[in-house]
Structure 1
């Protein structure tokens, strides 16, 4: 099976064993946009300069979801900030990522109705157990947090993204809070990617957090007004 993208790993980590999204929307949507941009940055396709995201290499990566986003970025005539791409790239993204995992047999699609009325779609593992790819991602992240020293670029990016969407609270619940805070900061400051790539990743992770916070604030205001 082809190597999973960061978006694939994030969507697996965000769903429980019953195939239910534990992050909710639009938290997962923005997180997946961030994951796509991080993968493009790690692949040397995009960079951030003067707080603006630009395409540095339009060559396709060979992955449909990444290449669709890359084409959209390349076709845009304006250099935008990473946060400006959150809503633009989020539309339909979770469905495309999940569909790709279903096509590869990592997950299966299960549709039913709650109380015989409300439609529901879940994405459990075909075996009923946690997918091996999810287990591997969890182990990679936990090993990085538990150890000392350097961390590979993909794992460092995924740990930062997990923090941005709030998954770190469950993924690392057995790690003492002070140890987790210190180690995540150490990983973020590590020499695991070029300065340009790290800049793009840091800006993207910040953009995800800003988008999620803005959406949560808007929901609170709407509920209060109503």
Structure 2
């Protein structure tokens, strides 16, 4: 997908688009977007073959295999943090760390503002507190994403490409998917969603990436649950 003639959307941009209310430009209640973004960074770096997960390590340690930058501000910052780390960390550790990046949501939204997909608006809460919102300017990219997900989840036994597989896994784990589709319909397709997210519908090479990203997805889901129960 090439919105407005630009480069294809990154996974983290797709995650954020789905997590935001279209008109209000605020995050849906219960959508743990910080962890979804962090897991999406790990997924993207795996797809771009910048990092790998040590299959021989018991704790799924992340290795940097290519230090060359991608030209994306957030992804490059994540890659540099991984490269400059004094010791290797687990996928779960890195999801937690990357979820704490400075102004993460705002910076991810700014990328979509530059593309002309979102617009930035300043508002106030209770007259005293300022709030930044990102309502949708161009609905076409999100509609295309939703159509992709709908075909994959509700379209029968169709093939699902790796990026769509990862997006479904990310949004499912972080509570975003129920804001995209009706909860009852999703419940009826629980087996299909499981079939997609376990990587069984993609080729062998892609399946290895999907399996590695599953650790990031699980970490995002666990971290989101902890954040919810602790009132974070």
Pairwise same-fold verdict (TM > 0.5): yes
Alignment of 1:42-81 (within 5 A): 42-49=47-54, 50=57, 51-81=60-90
Question: What is aligned with 2:214?
Answer: 202
Partner deviation per Cα, 1:11-51 (whole Å, 9 max, x = no partner): 111111221111468x2111100111111111111121221
Counterpart residue number, 1:95: 106
Aligned-residue offset at 1:177: 4.4
Q: Please report how far the alpha carbon of residue 150 of structure 1 lies from its aligned counterpart in structure 2 after TM superposition.
A: 2.0
Alpha carbons 1:48, 1:199 under 8 Å: kept: no
Distance in 1 (CA, whole Å) between partners of 2:137 and 2:64 is: 38
Structure 1 residue 64, shift from structure 2 partner: 1.9
1:65, 1:198 → 2: CA distance? Answer: 21
Which structure 2 residues correspond to residues 132-147 of structure 1 after superposition, within 5 A? 132-147=140-155
TM-fit CA distance, 1:170: 2.6
Specify the alignment match of 2:3 in structure 1.
none
Select between 162-171 and 173-182 the one with higher mean Cα deviation: 173-182
- The answer as to whether partners of 2:39 and 2:217 remain within 8 angstroms in 1 is yes
2:133 is equivalent to residue 122 of structure 1? yes
Structure 1, unpaired ranges of 5+: 221-226
Aligned: 1:22 with 2:22:
no
Q: 1-side partners of 2:187 and 2:46: how far apart?
A: 30
2:12 alignment counterpart? 7
Worse-superposed segment, 171-180 or 47-56: 171-180
Q: Structure 2 length as normaliser, TM-score?
A: 0.86
Contact kept in structure 1, 2:28 and 2:179, CA below 8 Å: no
Q: 1:177 to 1:21 in 2, by over 3 A?
A: closer
Give the match's secondary structure for 2:116. coil
1:192 is aligned to 202
- Secondary structure in 1 aligned to 2:74? helix
Q: Would the alpha carbon gap of residues 79 and 124 (structure 1) be closer, same or farther in structure 2, given more than 3 Å must change?
A: same
Tell me how many residue pairs correspond in the alignment: 216
Secondary structure of the corresponding residue to residue 183 of structure 1: helix
1:212 and 2:224 matched = yes
Q: In structure 2, do the counterparts of structure 1 residues 132 and 188 end up closer, same or farther at CA, with 3 Å as the change threshold? A: same
Q: 2:123: which partner in 1?
A: 112
Q: Flag structure 2 segments of 5+ consecutive residues without an equivalent.
A: 1-5
Q: Give distance in 2, aligned partners of 1:19 and 1:146.
A: 27
Other structure's SS at 1:142 match = helix
2:188 is the counterpart of 1:182: no
